[in-house]
Amino acid sequence: MAIYELYDIYIKELYMPKQNIQKSPPKGAIRFSLSLSDEQKSAKTEILKHPYNFIVGKAGSGKTLLAVQVALDLFFKKQINKIIITRPTISTEDNGFLPGSEREKMEPWLVPIRSNMRKIYNKPLILDKMEKDESIELVSLAHFRGRTFDNALVIVDEFQNLTRSQLAMSIGRLGKDSKMVFCGDSYQIDLKDKNWSAYHDMAKLTNSKYVYKTVLEDSHRHNAIDDLLELLNGYH
Distances in Å between the Cα of 139 and the Cα atoms of 50, 142, 172 are 23, 8, 15
* CATH number of residue 55's parent domain: 3.40.50.300
Q: In this predicted model, what pLDDT tens digit does every residue of 65-124 receive, in sequence order? A: 999 999 999 999 999 999 999 988 765 444 455 566 666 666 777 788 888 999 999 999
> What pLDDT digit, counting tens, does each position of 13-65 carry?
555 544 555 566 676 667 888 899 999 999 999 999 999 999 999 888 999 99
Is 13 within the bounds of a domain?
no
Whole-structure pTM value: 0.80
Residue 10 has pLDDT above 50, yes or no: no
Residue 1 resides in a domain: no
With respect to residue 8, please indicate whether it lies within any of the assigned structural domains: no
Q: Domain range holding 176?
A: 30-233
pLDDT value of residue 110: 73
| pLDDT at position 92 | 41
Residue 137: phi and psi, rounded to 5, are -120, 125
> Among 12, 7, 177, which Cα is nearest to 79's?
177
Of 111, 65, 69, give the one whose Cα is nearest residue 87.
111
Q: Name the band, by pLDDT with cuts 50, 70 and 90, for residue 221.
A: confident
CB 41 within 8 A of CB 114: no
Helix (H, G, I), strand (E, B) or coil at 140: coil
pLDDT at 219: 78
The answer to whether residue 116 is domain-embedded is yes
- Indicate the pLDDT class of residue 160, thresholds 50, 70 and 90: very high
Q: How far apart are CA 159 and CA 55, in angstroms?
A: 10
Query: How many domains would you assign to the chain?
Result: 1
Comparing C-alpha atoms, which of 212, 162, 210 is closest to residue 184?
A: 162
Hey, which residues does 63 pair with through a beta bridge? none
The stretch 153-159 carries a mean pLDDT of: 96
Give CA torsion, residues 43, 49, 51, 52, to 10 deg: -30
User: Does residue 7 fall inside a structural domain?
Assistant: no
